[in-house]
Structure 1
Amino acid sequence: MNFLVLLFAHLLADYPLQGDFLANMKGKNHIVLATHAGIWTGTVLIAAYFLGYNITYIDVAWMFVVHVVADYMKAKPVGFYKKLDSLKSGLLIDQAIHILQIIVFLFYKNM
């Protein structure tokens, strides 16, 4: 159940809360990318807090940094993203990375 709540928070922050401006500009402007990653990190971790998880600065930093790196690599494209279609396989890998972040977070917090 907790995974589904955090998945919903992820989808909410990565799509409707992002908007067209952030989606179009995050590959061109680091402040816009950081803003999007901050909105995503805040949304997911606020949901986790309301589920009863203790949120630490390490959680915030890890979720934020991984999100920035994943979105930067997809938006530029950098590394293996150069060989991918950004709207198909690139998007799937990006989403897989963010979902894996949630799974790792839940695993770490439930140890």
Structure 2
Amino acid sequence: MNMEVLALLIFAHAMADYPLQGDFLARAKNHTAPICGVPWYHALAAHCTIHAGFVGIITGSLALGIAEFFIHAATDYAKCSGRISYNTDQAIHVGCKICWAVLVVA
């Protein structure tokens, strides 16, 4: 596993899920309590694109960036649906970063 890549991915995740997400995206991406006039899927896609961009840049892999986009979207959708907890959501996100770091070495 590439520990430098993993450290950068974890840092980028913290940036993208907290300060770069902000209150607006955190609320707007929730399909169960949408903000009037804001399509939730636009907000979710924007949030996931931020994550995917970081993964693609850090790993140098468009494929891993695309995988991050879809897995992050499915995970956040499940969290907003109440099917998984916040802690499970974060565990899946970090688990993906571990997978990406392993795949970069391969």
Pairwise TM-score range, normalised by the shorter structure: 0.7 to 0.9
Figure out how many residues of one structure are paired with residues of the other and give that number: 95
Partner residue, 1:100: 95
**TM-score normalised by length of structure 1:** 0.78
Q: For 2:20, which of 13, 17, 28 is the aligned residue?
A: 17
**TM-score normalised by length of structure 2:** 0.81
Matches of 2:64 and 2:17 in 1, distance apart?
A: 18
* Correspondences of 1:80-91 after superposition (within 5 Å): 81=84, 90-91=85-86
Matches of 2:5 and 2:60 in 1, distance apart?
A: 14
Secondary structure at 1:17 match in 2: coil
1:76 aligns with 2:81: yes
* Correspondences of 1:53-68 after superposition (within 5 Å): 53-56=59-62, 58-68=63-73
Matches of 1:108 and 1:98 in 2, distance apart?
A: 15
Letter in 1 for 2:81: K
Partner residue, 1:7: 10
Matches of 1:59 and 1:2 in 2, distance apart?
A: 13
State the identity as a percent.
36
Instruction: Give CA deviations for 1:65-103 in whole Å, capped at 9, x if unaligned.
Output: 00000000001223xx2xxxxxxxx11111110111111
Structural RMSD (CA): 1.3
Unaligned runs of 5+ in 1: 82-89
The ranges of structure 1 where at least 4 consecutive aligned residues each deviate by more than 2 angstroms after the TM superposition are 43-46
Matches of 1:21 and 1:33 in 2, distance apart?
A: 11
Matches of 2:9 and 2:71 in 1, distance apart?
A: 16
Unaligned runs of 5+ in 2: 32-39
Quote how far apart the aligned CAs of 1:6 are.
1.3
